[in-house]
Amino acid sequence: MSELEKMKQGRWHDANNDEELLQKRLAAEDLCFLFNHTRPKDHDSKQKILRQLLPHAHPSACILAPFYADYGEYCFIGEHTFINHHAYLMDGGDIHIGAFCFIGPNCGIYTVQHPLCWQERDCGYERAKPITIGDHVWIGADVTILPGVTIHEGAIIGAKSVVTCDIPPHVIAVGNPCKILRPITEEDRISSDLTM
């Protein structure tokens, strides 16, 4: 079984010395470099690079530079999702981001874990657990999302939170570690202030 196959099955694998994984990450790094150094006004070139880097991102998703991903091809990004500056998607495990999500600047989404015993960690072993972010999620600035987490539909994650466990739908959650603050209710609507 290849190290890539182990990685995609969530098994311990050698990501630091395997030529196939190293080449995949190098290709993604090149595309990130090109995207991050393309003029903001050159929209067509930026979109072409993103299609290569993120083949599973919906064309209507908006991603601002600088942006980083380990592989890119294991990121699945829904329609009309907005990812602000300095996002890093460590996509050894699949990262699924739903539709109409707002992801604030400096967000880190990390699927990879390393062994706790240093002797194994020094050998380069790691494993990847997928992360899922549901539709209509808002993630504030400087949020860290750790391996294996699911953030359910409509949840809000407060700025600078560290998300270590699953977050249920339609709640506000904040802190390190991130904990539920309260549900989102009808009283949170601003519809009465809007002219439709």
Name the residue among 104, 114, 24 with its Cα closest to residue 133.
104
Is 136 one of the catalytic residues? no
Query: Catalytic residue among 13, 114, 136, 170, which?
Result: 114
Contact (CB, 8 A) for 112 and 10? no
Pairing of strands 62-63, 144-145: unpaired
Contacts of 157 (CB under 8 A, 6+ apart): 137, 138, 139, 140, 143, 145, 151, 163, 167, 173, 174, 178
**Distance between CA atoms of 123 and 161, rounded to whole angstroms?**
31
Instruction: Please tell me whether residue 109 adopts helix, strand or coil conformation.
Output: strand
Taking the mean position of all CA atoms in its chain, how far away is CA 137? 12
Owner of token pair 């904040």: 174
Q: Give CA–CA dist 88/68, Å, rounded.
A: 5
* CA torsion through residues 175, 177, 178, 179, sign: negative
| Catalytically active residues, by annotation | 114
